[in-house]
Amino acid sequence: MRKQFSFPIILTLFWFSHAGSMAPTPAKEWTDLWLDYRLVSNQPLLQEYRYNLKVLVVSSHSETMELAGAELRRGLRLLLGREVSEGTDFEAANSLVIGARGALPQSILAEVQQELNAAGQEGYVVKTRATPRGKSILIVANHDVGVLRGAFHFLRLLQTQQAIRALAIVSHPRIQYRLLNHWDNLDRSVERGYAGKSLWKWEELPGTIDPRYHDYARANASLGINGVVLNNVNANPDILKPEYLKKVAALADIFRPYGIRIFLSANFSSPISEKFEFEARRRGGIGDLSTSDPLDLHVRSWWKNTVGEIYQLIPDFGGFLVKASSEGMPGPNDYGRTHAEGANMLAEVLEPYGGIVMWRSFVYDADVDPDRTKRAYKEFVPLDGKFHSNVFVQPKNGPLDFQPREPVNPLFGAMPKTPLMLELQLTQEYLGHSTHLVYLAPMWKEYLEFDTHANGAGSTLASIVDGSVHGYPMTGIAGVANTGDDRNWTGHFFAQANWYAFGRLAWDHTLSSEEIADEWIGMSLGNDTTVLSTVRKMMMGSWEACVKYMTPLGLHHIMQEHFHYGPEPSLDKGREDWTSVYYHRAGTTGIGYNRNSSGSNAVSQYFSPVRERFDDLTSCPEEYLLWFHHVPWDYRTKSGRTVWDELCHRYHAGVKYVAHMQENWRSLQPRVDPVVFELVGEKLAQHYRDAGIWRDTCLTYFQRLSGKPIVGDD
Ligand code: BDP
């Protein structure tokens, strides 16, 4: 439970947070995330920073440049504990000079020409420069938004206490579209959201602008996130009504100077009259038609007009995200049309404006194949080459549904002619909501670095997504957001690290999980070496631990129905592909889903030699053992233990890890902010209890089938 604060404490915290005070209480549960800029504690470094950063020279005055200047002024004031002066002399010593190409004097341009070329449209250069009068630091880019991102990068160096004597940084994103997908509904509920209500106050917009919209955009800009889908993929057609578009436009105006474009989830039935009665999610739309058949001319012109209206209000509108013919959502299949026909209809009307379509591949029509994990591949691979050039197909990282661990989605590599936008999930739908401390970067890295062999060795998922394998004309990555209107944005303080890590990896997927953790810890909890090493250790093993106490050895989808928090391995009712027993297939003789070549043959969807590696019981990585194979209870695993004993061992080890995290966290009491200490401590206590429930429920259930004693609880 969240601690209830008394009124004076709330006031104090509010004051500290908003006054940017130098007082020691950093009020971490409040709004500033990793951007609260505390006084540099390392004295020699502080002196060095103060010496080198006496003057700020801002070269021009667009909205974005104002933001960059303000961020640096504020950041330097707090980090250095004193104001920097403003200057106009580009050659001044001990100055910080910021500017975009068009506003820089020739003398500087000549020196950074090459780096600017390498920085590209979105990147930036941070560079130490020798002026005739001494040294200065440049933050320069081809466009203002690059300067803003460079400013955040520079501040990060100070926040994490790096040397700034000889900087030579050129940074540019490896992926073009770096988006957060909000599953936010118009009534402000958030599908799979665990951090309060939606940030978007539709009832107040466009008249009232919540200051948090700016804070949100600022946090994203600090990571280089450049697009936001505002609404749930289970889209309410109302979002395209003029009254809502005005609200959307107000948000677009706020986000624009931060380099963030707006996208919307569109309901495929939008053109249909609301008088049409459908079941469940197939409600009528907002138009006046009786069909949304993508080949119908009236439907096409309805979309053309609607898109025209959107661009009137939002000239840089990004495009549509679409969940179609999936989980009861309407789509082209309702009219006997393909996903490509549906996507292309929207792509054609967006194309003149530079908009795109992100067409999700999360479909699992039971008629396609009895094995749910094979269905999307079977529907989409035949469509490769049939999509318009401004269409992304957007698959989730795994073939099922954001489970604690899955093998990589076989669609990656199998659609060389269709840009694939990777969809990750920040919100911990299946990983303990905002109660469990689970750092997701190691999981995302496992996927990104997985070698699909699509085009020979080295065809990692990352290199498919960033376009290097197939030469995609556009590249993208999306993360289902974990934000809400909770004071700390994400429900769990440590879930902020997942937002941070997603943004950093979207910019540069070659960063390691450790590096990202170190940055986040330094910026969010301080640079005390004990805090750094202890928290890094806690974070780095937390995902693997979660896999162990939830779904070890390749188990999957054994969570409670609907809620998706606790375990329900006995679930055996309703639709087959939503029951736990369909997935674990445990019986008295063994456990696991046979997807090898003697079973559902899901392995055939992978490239050789991955296919053979997964197919063969002895070479299949144990992380995926029960995903691909059904084995007898006394099958020997690599540890020498039987699969039953190994399951017991892993369930226990997972829970023990949470106990270690609790101990480690307790040891940090004198070193971290007291409010954070207490709130995280409370979360960890519940985390420990609930991890134990996972272990006990699953082991008790499986024991009834295996008939063997539960071991390894020492
Ligand atoms: C599932 C969620 C559901 C989403 C769906 C999706 O349980 O709420 O609508 O994915 O991604 O994981 O469309």
Q: Do 410 and 399 touch, CB atoms closer than 8 A?
A: yes
Residue 489 pLDDT exceeds 80:
yes
The CATH code of the domain at 43-171 is 3.30.379.10
Residue span(s) of the chain under CATH 3.30.379.10 come to 43-171
The amino acid occupying position 509 is: H
Residue among 190, 234, 400, 430 whose CB has most ligand 1 atoms within 8 A, to mutate: 234
Is position 348 annotated as part of the catalytic site? no
- 415 by Cβ neighbours in 10 Å (0-12 / 13-18 / 19+) ranks as buried
Distance CA 14, CA 647 (A): 47
Residue 17 pLDDT exceeds 60:
no
Mean pLDDT of 321-325: 97
**Among 35, 174, 21, which Cα is nearest to 519's?**
35
Q: Which residues of 629-644 are buried (b: 16+ CB within 10 A; e: fewer)?
A: bbbebebebeeebbbb
| Residue 559: φ, ψ to 5° | -90, 170
Q: Is residue 429 lining ligand 1, measured as CB closer than 6 Å? A: yes
Distance CA 582, CA 590 (A): 14
Write a three-state SS string for 113-173. HHHHHHHCCCCEEEEEEEECCEEEEEEEECCHHHHHHHHHHHHHHHHCCCCCCCCEEEECC
Domain 7-30+545-593+630-706, CATH among 1.10.3720.10, 3.90.1330.10, 2.60.40.420, 3.40.50.880? 3.90.1330.10
Which tens digits make up the pLDDT trace of 445-486? 999 999 999 999 999 999 999 999 999 999 999 999 999 999
Instruction: Find the 20 Cα to ligand 1 centroid distance in Å.
Output: 39
Residue 300 pLDDT exceeds 60:
yes
Q: Do 481 and 463 touch, CB atoms closer than 8 A?
A: no
- 703 by Cβ neighbours in 10 Å (0-12 / 13-18 / 19+) ranks as middle
Which tens digits make up the pLDDT trace of 330-370? 999 999 999 999 999 999 999 999 999 999 999 999 999 99
Q: Is residue 191 lining ligand 1, measured as CB closer than 6 Å? A: yes
Instruction: Find the 362 Cα to ligand 1 centroid distance in Å.
Output: 9
Distance CA 628, CA 645 (A): 19
Distance CA 69, CA 59 (A): 10
pLDDT at 517: 98
Residue 1 pLDDT exceeds 70:
no
pLDDT at 712: 84
Mean pLDDT score of the chain: 94
Q: Collapsing DSSP states into helix, strand and coil, what is residue 57?
A: strand
Which tens digits make up the pLDDT trace of 367-402? 999 999 999 999 999 999 999 999 999 999 999 999
pLDDT at 20: 33
Mean pLDDT of 561-571: 96
Residue 278 pLDDT exceeds 70:
no
Mean pLDDT of 504-511: 98
Instruction: Find the 382 Cα to ligand 1 centroid distance in Å.
Output: 24
Mean pLDDT is lowest, of 21-25, 121-125, 145-149, for: 21-25
Instruction: Please give the structure tokens belonging to residue 242.
Output: 């003029």
Going by pLDDT thresholds of 50, 70 and 90, the confidence category of residue 578 is confident
Residue 275 pLDDT exceeds 80:
no
pLDDT at 282: 59
Residue identifier of the C-alpha nearest atom 11 of ligand 1 = 362
Instruction: Find the 187 Cα to ligand 1 centroid distance in Å.
Output: 18
Distance CA 633, CA 362 (A): 33
pLDDT at 30: 59
Is position 561 annotated as part of the catalytic site? no
Q: Is residue 402 lining ligand 1, measured as CB closer than 6 Å? A: yes
Residue among 181, 396, 401 whose CB has most ligand 1 atoms within 8 A, to mutate: 401
Q: Is residue 362 lining ligand 1, measured as CB closer than 6 Å? A: yes
User: Which atom of ligand 1 lies closest to the CA of 430?
Assistant: 12
> What would the DSSP string read from start to end of 663-689?
HHHHHTGGGS-HHHHHHHHHHHHHHHH
Q: Do 627 and 615 touch, CB atoms closer than 8 A?
A: no
Mean pLDDT is lowest, of 115-124, 127-136, 172-181, for: 127-136
Q: Is residue 234 lining ligand 1, measured as CB closer than 6 Å? A: yes
Q: Do 497 and 223 touch, CB atoms closer than 8 A?
A: no
Is position 327 annotated as part of the catalytic site? yes
**Among 681, 679, 673, which Cα is nearest to 24's?**
673
Strands 134-141 and 124-131: antiparallel
Instruction: Please give the structure tokens belonging to residue 359.
Output: 């067409």
**What are the C-alpha distances in Å from 674 to residues 7, 18, 359?**
17, 19, 45
Residue span(s) of the chain under CATH 3.90.1330.10 come to 7-30+545-593+630-706
- Looking at residue 286, the DSSP 8-state letter turns out to be S
Residue span(s) of the chain under CATH 3.20.20.80 come to 177-509
State the catalytic residue, choosing from 91, 316, 401, 577: 401
Write a three-state SS string for 462-489. HHHHCCCCCCCCCCEEEEECCCCCCCCC
Instruction: Find the 530 Cα to ligand 1 centroid distance in Å.
Output: 39
Residue 21 pLDDT exceeds 50:
no
Instruction: Find the 506 Cα to ligand 1 centroid distance in Å.
Output: 22
pLDDT at 29: 52
Q: What is the Cα Rg of the chain in Å?
A: 26
Mean pLDDT of 280-304: 88
> What would the DSSP string read from start to end of 351-396?
GGGT-EEEEE-----TTT-SSGGGHHHHHHGGGTT-S-TTEEEE-B
Residue 610 pLDDT exceeds 80:
yes
- Looking at residue 186, the DSSP 8-state letter turns out to be T
**What are the C-alpha distances in Å from 418 to residues 362, 388, 516?**
16, 9, 30
> What would the DSSP string read from start to end of 584-651?
H---SSEE----STTTT-GGGGSPTTHHHHHHSTTTS-GGGHHHH--EETT-B-TTSSBHHHHHHHHH
Q: Collapsing DSSP states into helix, strand and coil, what is residue 321?
A: strand
User: Which atom of ligand 1 lies closest to the CA of 233?
Assistant: 13
User: Which atom of ligand 1 lies closest to the CA of 183?
Assistant: 9
HSE-up of residue 609 (Cα within 13 Å, Cβ side): 6
**What are the C-alpha distances in Å from 625 to residues 187, 369, 404, 551, 621?**
42, 22, 14, 11, 6
Q: Which residues, in sequence order, are CB contacts of 465 under 8 Å at separation 6+?
A: 175, 412, 420, 421, 422, 448, 475, 476, 477, 509
Distance CA 463, CA 224 (A): 19
**Residue 399 CA to its chain's centroid (Å):** 18
What's the topology of domain 177-509? TIM Barrel (3.20.20)
User: Which atom of ligand 1 lies closest to the CA of 191?
Assistant: 8
pLDDT at 14: 30
Q: What share of the chain is helix, strand, coil (3-state, %, to 5)?
A: 45, 15, 45
pLDDT at 9: 32
Q: Please state whether 606 falls in left (phi above 0), alpha (psi between -120 and 50) or beta.
A: beta
pLDDT at 576: 78
Q: Which residues, in sequence order, are CB contacts of 125 under 8 Å at separation 6+?
A: 112, 115, 116, 119, 138, 139, 140, 141, 150, 169, 170, 171
Going by pLDDT thresholds of 50, 70 and 90, the confidence category of residue 577 is confident
Give every strand in the sheet of 227-229, ordered side by side.
391-394, 356-360, 319-322, 261-265, 227-229, 177-181, 476-480, 421-425
Q: Is residue 430 lining ligand 1, measured as CB closer than 6 Å? A: no
Distance CA 553, CA 651 (A): 10
Residue 698 pLDDT exceeds 80:
yes
Q: Is residue 192 lining ligand 1, measured as CB closer than 6 Å? A: yes
Q: Do 494 and 525 touch, CB atoms closer than 8 A?
A: no
Q: Do 687 and 571 touch, CB atoms closer than 8 A?
A: no
Distance CA 19, CA 568 (A): 48
Q: Collapsing DSSP states into helix, strand and coil, what is residue 272?
A: strand
pLDDT at 281: 52
pLDDT at 132: 86
Mean pLDDT of 200-212: 97
- 507 by Cβ neighbours in 10 Å (0-12 / 13-18 / 19+) ranks as buried
